Amino acid sequence: MCMSRLHRVRATPAPGAVETEDVEGAVHLISLLALEGPCPSPGEWLVVHSGYAIDRIDAEEAEAVAAELALVSAAEVSKRVGRTRG
């Protein structure tokens, strides 16, 4: 299953692409073919699906979503650890 993820732009290494970092810290080269408007700047947040930037998101909303994802991830890890001890 493919899911859209949040990525923060790190650099613009080539026309039509940006280097990004996802909320887990992994670095990716993302295509801008599906994104309307000007080339995103470093620090800007993007919604990325299957390697393509599909939308922009403001920093406040992106950071709130990233915090929620971290809580969900921590709860999932805690649940798995609890199952292995039982």
| pLDDT tens column, 4-35 | 899 999 999 989 999 999 988 899 999 999 99
Three-class SS of residue 24? coil
Whether residue 86 has pLDDT greater than 60: no
Q: What CATH number is attached to the domain comprising 67?
A: 2.30.30.140
pLDDT given at position 85: 61
pLDDT given at position 28: 96
Are the C-beta atoms of 12 and 39 separated by less than 8 Å? yes
- Sorted by sequence, the CB contacts under 8 Å of residue 12 that are 6+ apart come out as 18, 19, 39, 40, 41, 42
| pLDDT tens column, 33-65 | 999 999 999 999 999 999 999 999 999 999 898
Are the C-beta atoms of 44 and 20 separated by less than 8 Å? no
- Number of domains observed in the structure of the chain: 1
Higher pLDDT, residue 67 or 75: 67
pTM exceeds 0.85 for this model: no
Domain hosting residue 78, numbered range:
5-85
